[in-house]
Structures are given as C-alpha cells and as structure tokens.
Amino acid sequence: MIHGNLKSLVAVMATSVALASAAHAGGYSRGSANLDPLMEDGTQVSSSFTVIAPNRGMSTVQPAGAPAAIPASAITPTPALAAAGATGNAGAKFTEAYTVFGATAAMDVVGPTRCAGTFSQPYGANVDYGWTRIMSGVSTTTSSEMSSMEFGLTCSYRAEVGKGNMYVIGGVFHQTIDYTEARGFGFGSVLGGGDIAMDDGSVGYRVGLGYTIPEIALKASLIYRSAVDVGLKGVVRNPAFPGGSVTAFANATTPQSVKLAVQSGVAPGWLVFGSVEWTDWSVLQQVQVFADPGQLAVGAAPIAGVTVDAFFRDGWTVSGGVAHKFNDKFSGLASLTWDRGTSTGRSSYSDTLTVSTGGSYTVNENVSIRGGLAYSFLDSLTEVNTAGHTIGYDKDYSIGGGLSLNIKF
C-alpha cells in the first residue's frame, strides 16, 4: 500500500494543472470547474486565483496588395495619427494580463451521493491594440474583451467495482458571456463597423465517469461538457447610425469538450499524471451581428463590418507530469503541456508548450495551501485577416502564477 504516502499529492495537482490550463489557453479557454472533490471524502471548500501575462505583438505586416512584408516595429504614426495622440510603433505588445478565479464546495448528500457547487471562468480574451492596428492599416479595432462566468452544480454516485470505486457524474451549469469591442472611428470606413457591447446567459450540462483505487492513489475520469447556444444582446455604436447607436443581437455557440484525466501512484511518495482534452472550437467561425428590427431596416439587418471573427479549428491539449511528497508538510510537482493552436490562419492563437511547477504546504490535517508557476512558449504563425492583410507573429511567451486554499471539515 502506498496510499498513505500519496494522499496529499492527489490534492496538490489541482492548482498546477489549473494554472497550466489557464496559461496555454487553447482558443478562448481559461478555467474549468474543479470536479476532483466529487471523488473524495468529507466536506471541503477550495478556491484558486491565477494571474497570466501573455506577451504577443505583430512582427511583420503586409497590407493587401503590397509587394512584401515590412517589420511592424518600423511602422510609426503618420502626422495625422500623431496629432490624434498615436505613439510608439505597430510592433508593440497588444495582449493584456488577465486573472482566473475558481471555487468549489463539495459534501456528501445521501448515502453514496456527493455534490459540488462550482464557480469558474471558462472563456476569455483581452487585447488592447491601441493604435497598432490603425497605424499599420490592418483594421480599425483598438481593443476587444470577452469574459465569462460559470455557476455549476454537479453530483456523483459511488459504487464499489473491483478493487475500487466507480463514480457516475452529472450536473448542470449556467454560463454568462460578455463581449465588448472598440473601433477608432475616422481612421477607416465610418459606415462599416461599430463599437460592440453585448452579453448573454445560457444553460449547459456535463456528464462523466470516474474510477478510483485509493490504495495506489489511482484516479481516472472522463468528463463531457456540453456546447452552449449563446444569444447575445446589446448595443452597437457608430456615429453614422441614426442616434449614434442601435440595439443588436448575435447568435453563437461555445464549444463542447471531452477530457480524459488519469493519475496513479508508482512508488512510495511518487505519483504520475496525464490528461488529453478535445475542444470543439471549430464550431466558432464568424459571428455576424444584426441590428434589431426597425433599427436600420424593417426587419433584422446584418450590420456591415460588425462581426466577431474566430475561424477556429478544434483544439487538442495533452499534459503529463510527476508529483513527489517530500515530507508530511511539503509536496511538489512538475508538468509539461502541449496545446494545438486553434488558428486556421485567421488569428494569433498558435501552438503552445507550457512548463509548470507547483507545490503544496499542509498547514494541518484540514488546511492546505498550494501554489504554482507556469511558462508558455508561443509558436510563430502567420495570420491573413478578412480584409486580406497578412500579419506575422514571432515566437513569443506567456508567464503565470497561481495560489489556492483548500479547507476540509
């Protein structure tokens, strides 16, 4: 039996794995609900906080019809843009640091049934182009931000199977999406485009199976998270519109996903773990925004130049690592995660390779504090946007750190 030596390692992985997930972030992915407590014992509450700082900027720009690409750092404001306040060059970093928060409260309900309430931030994107896109001529977008929240209730039913326990898992969640986008009017087509401010709340579900053999710290789970149809509603602003703005709507779908995760003790004080996840990001291509009936036309009318462009392909994430218990107080781990970028040549979401490390300090039998660090290598790629402009991105990086607190009763 090696269960006694590895019990604390089963918990320490949560922060590091969550940190790596937020750091490599395929597509718009950021955080996910922590369902591990559904296959554990006792009442427990945990929370996590992660900060990620990606570093990405344009390296080259080739406007549509231009004979060759030029370094983005060589593109500086024209006199007209400088008079409007533009500074720097088109190669400046446009990605913004972001935070990811998560929380879980789990307890036994009736007999072998156990439930967990979860909070997570599954999707997000935050870029501040400033003047870089305008001065390079590739678009008039100055910034865009997407944020989300998920409130879930998931339960498991335990049954003894073989040497361990089988868990049947199922639950529902309510997901919110908020999206904003800003344009630099007067530096492109005033009639095309518009500032966007839209949001929505929708319901989805998750189901899965789990299996544990406590004596060898074996835990395996297969979890499916449903796609969610999103009906965004809000406002699009443009000086050319009657009154300067119109109420609007857009329909989209956030992706379904399937994740297989396995961990097992291999020797006293040592544990190995790995996971594979598929996310149906190809469901998100180009989202057209429509003006409500009576705004720009008798019926609902697509607004020229107002789309949210992703053109993603499916995402695959593969992760593996090893954990070690140094003593009764301290445990640590290291992991390596590869994420296949979702870009099809229409975005900057490249392949990433993330190295992460984490540790846990056990305060007492009921309280533990965990932390982790991650460094991601962002691969180079070329983007051709919908206007035909070609943008090159060099190899870049992202760094992150996270903390979590776990309390058992």
**pLDDT in the model for residue 188:** 53
Q: Would the CA dihedral through 54, 59, 60, 61 be positive or negative? A: positive
What is the pLDDT averaged over residues 1-5?
49
**Residue 213 or 8, more confident:** 213
Name which of 5-19, 31-45, 270-284 the model is least confident about: 5-19
Give the closest residue to 133 by CA, choosing from 381, 389, 308: 389
What is residue 240's predicted lDDT score, i.e. its pLDDT?
A: 84
* pLDDT confidence of residue 7: 55
**What's the pLDDT at 17?**
57
Percent of the chain with pLDDT over 70: 92
Q: Give Dmax (Cα) for the chain.
A: 75
Q: Which region among 18-32, 61-75, 287-301 has the lowest average model confidence (pLDDT)? A: 18-32
Per-residue pLDDT, averaged over 28-46, amounts to: 95
Tell me: pLDDT of 2 over 60.
no
DSSP string, 83-119: HTT--S-TTS--B--EEEEEEEEEEE-STTEEEEEEE
Per-residue model confidence (pLDDT) at position 364: 94
- Phi, then psi, of 355 in degrees rounded to 5: -105, 125
Tens of pLDDT, residues 170-226: 999 999 999 999 988 766 544 456 789 999 999 999 999 999 999 999 999 999 999
Cα atoms found within 13 Å of the Cα of residue 225, Cβ hemisphere only: 28
For the chain, what percent of residues have pLDDT higher than 90?
80
Chosen CATH of 3-408 out of 2.60.120.200, 2.130.10.10, 3.50.50.60, 2.40.160.60? 2.40.160.60
CA 190 to CA 187: how far, in whole Å? 8
- Report pTM: 0.93
Say if residue 386's pLDDT is above 90.
no
Please choose, from the candidates 27, 59, 17, 49, the residue with its C-alpha nearest in 3D space to the C-alpha of residue 278: 27
The two beta strands, 352-362 and 330-339, are antiparallel
pLDDT given for residue 191 in this prediction? 45
